Structure 1
Amino acid sequence: MSTDTSDWIREPLHADYGQGLKVEEVFYDSKTEHQRLRVFRNNTFGRILTLDDVVQTTEGDNFIYHEMLTHVPILAHGAAKRVLIIGGGDGGMAREVLKHQSVEHVTMVEIDAGVVEFSKEHLPTLSQGAFDDPRLNLVINDGALFMKETTDRFDVIIVDSTDPIGPGEVLFTDTFYGHAKRALTPGGILVTQNGVPFMQGDELTNTMRAFQALFADATCYMATIPTYAGGPMAFGWGTDSDARHVTLETLQTRFQAAKLTPDYYTPEVHQGAFALPGYVLKLMP
């Protein structure tokens, strides 16, 4: 059942700045144990998922976010077989990881079963059948608790968290990152969603401080996602390997072998994403 409306929403994430989005049609609006979930249609971005009125993903531009958090670490690694996704209940991250036929097993840990179920129903274009892939093991659990207790090891860990408020807050702590480091295989790579540094500089600084204490190579890379207000988004990067410096020729070879057809990622974009603007460099500890 859908409800027509001409309302607008304003994101409450930042106290004195926020984007407005026109709500053309509401498909889902319900408060779960953890958060308020809404799916509505916007003429520019298609269906949009919000949690507590903060945009999480859209049909229109999700490909940028999901491609950059998956293809960058997987192709940089070059031999990733086991991947862990923390969060990602809409299925978009799993969709992109599973495009790599070389990946044998994906564990996805989502705290809120409600997000998964309504995404299947109301945002099926995001997962595109990923939840039915036999390589995917969906675990409904707190990501921080899972990371603390798991004895499994992963070649790539992707933290697709909400912002560090509410349920997502524990995924931005030194303790969580330490447990993630322990869960990596030798040469494994940890990547994280670290917000828009122009608006959320402390978030990046704190993560980088923790990464620098844990990893031989700790930095971030960037991409611009139109519905994440305030400029380019930063993705944390931590590894003890030299994977960040893989040559363009090697990336191109791996990219061609993977037979990917992304809409944003290219090997050239991959390399360029690590070139940071001055204001971001100043946020690095």
Structure 2
Amino acid sequence: MSQGLVFNETLYPGVEVKYECDNILFQDRSEHQDLVLFTNPVFGKVLMLDGVTQVTTGDEFIYHEMMSHVPILAHGDAREVLIIGGGDCGMAEEALKHASIERLTQVEIDDAVVSFSKEHFGDFNAAVFEDDRFDLVIDDGARFVAETDRRFDVVMVDSTDPMGPGAVLFTEEFYRAVHRCLKPGGVLVTQNGVPFLQRDELLDSIRRFSAIYADASAYVAAIPTYFGGHMALGWATDNAELRKVSLETLEQRFEAAGLDTRYYTPEVHRAAFALPRFIRDIVEEGRKA
């Protein structure tokens, strides 16, 4: 037991988030990052990389459902899906609930993250490793999209914030490489932080999206772990109609997919693109740059 121990996240200047720790389950320094997994009385198992919260068993379903079901159901005929990062495999678990997906490729730079996630997060990712459609590639995600000759309907970037190994996944060069390996009408979604505290992260991504894709935008989700209000999820595609899929169509696709969700609904999907004014202003500024 680790009674009295706390872990502090200091990602946001001027703000500190403190997690009480009941027990440290795993702690190590891999080739790429410092990793710790511990239990918290509110969020359950908490994974931190380099001192930044990545996922908790308490609220992982919100982030993973919104990052996967929104682009897949908006697309309507996704067969080939690519995940960059996402070593906890929660996003893969949600995406593979869609029987229409023929292959899901996940490119993760750190095999240590996948190995311990398989061991410690089996309550939400066990099905992934038993699914023949799951193709795990241990490689640098930026290199993979720059070199692959494969093409994808949906690309989801489940990255850390733009620092350390994750910084390259926020560059224009990376977004251009993703565009190259998207099929016509394909869509890219990204994690873009909490705009109230990380305004520039979203602004910079929208600017870079706008230089490459016909439609650059974002949608939002409320995720308790990511302190500071709405989290922004970046959206980039050459098909502007994907953001405008009707509620009726989304309901039909959702029912046909037979999904069992805890946060995502077709109504939430539509509403997620109705941005609060201050977030919409960031998106509009990025588009004009």
Under TM normalisation by the shorter chain, which class is it?
over 0.9
Q: Which residue does the alignment assign to 2:76?
A: 78
Q: Which residue does the alignment assign to 2:200?
A: 202
Q: Which residue does the alignment assign to 1:48?
A: 46
Give yes or no for contact 1:90–1:126 (8 Å, CA) kept in 2.
no
Q: Which residue does the alignment assign to 1:272?
A: 271
Counterpart AA for 1:99: K
Pairwise CA RMSD? 0.9
Deviation of 1:212 after TM superposition, in Å, equals 1.2
Q: Which residue does the alignment assign to 2:113?
A: 115
Deviations 1:218-271 (A, max 9, x none): 100000100101111000001111111111000000000000010000000000
Q: Which residue does the alignment assign to 1:249?
A: 248
Counterpart AA for 2:45: R
Aligned residues with identical type, % of pairs: 54
Deviations 1:177-201 (A, max 9, x none): 0000111000001000000011111
Aligned partners of 2:181, 2:202: CA distance in 1, in Å? 22
Aligned partners of 1:137, 1:121: CA distance in 2, in Å? 18
Query: What is the number of equivalent residue pairs in this alignment?
Result: 283
Q: Which residue does the alignment assign to 1:5?
A: 3
Q: Which residue does the alignment assign to 1:171?
A: 169
Deviation of 1:277 after TM superposition, in Å, equals 0.9
Counterpart AA for 2:12: H
Structure 1 segment 149-188 matched on structure 2, within 5 A:
149-188=147-186
Is residue 227 of structure 1 aligned with residue 210 of structure 2?
Answer: no
Give yes or no for contact 1:196–1:234 (8 Å, CA) kept in 2.
yes
Deviation of 1:146 after TM superposition, in Å, equals 0.6
Counterpart AA for 1:243: L
Counterpart AA for 1:192: T
Give yes or no for contact 1:86–1:161 (8 Å, CA) kept in 2.
yes
Counterpart AA for 1:62: E
Is residue 66 of structure 1 aligned with residue 58 of structure 2?
Answer: no
Structure 1 segment 12-31 matched on structure 2, within 5 A:
12-31=10-29
SS at match of 2:282: coil
Give yes or no for contact 1:18–1:229 (8 Å, CA) kept in 2.
no
Deviations 1:4-60 (A, max 9, x none): 332111102122112111011110011111111111101111111110121100000
TM-score of the aligned structures, taking structure 2 as reference length: 0.96
Structure 1 residues 7-16 or 27-36, which shifts more? 7-16
Structure 1 residues 14-23 or 53-62, which shifts more? 14-23
Aligned partners of 1:131, 1:53: CA distance in 2, in Å? 28
Deviation of 1:280 after TM superposition, in Å, equals 0.8
Deviation of 1:128 after TM superposition, in Å, equals 2.6
Give yes or no for contact 1:28–1:122 (8 Å, CA) kept in 2.
no
Counterpart AA for 1:235: L
Structure 1: give runs of 5+ residues left out of the alignment: none
Q: Which residue does the alignment assign to 1:217?
A: 215
Counterpart AA for 2:254: F
Aligned partners of 1:78, 1:282: CA distance in 2, in Å? 29
TM-score of the aligned structures, taking structure 1 as reference length: 0.98
Deviation of 1:131 after TM superposition, in Å, equals 2.0
SS at match of 2:66: helix
Give yes or no for contact 1:225–1:232 (8 Å, CA) kept in 2.
yes
Aligned partners of 1:126, 1:199: CA distance in 2, in Å? 29
Give yes or no for contact 1:6–1:22 (8 Å, CA) kept in 2.
yes
Deviations 1:72-126 (A, max 9, x none): 0000000000000000101101000000000000000000000000111122123
Aligned partners of 1:162, 1:7: CA distance in 2, in Å? 25
Q: Which residue does the alignment assign to 2:30?
A: 32
Structure 2: give runs of 5+ residues left out of the alignment: none
Q: Which residue does the alignment assign to 1:139?
A: 137
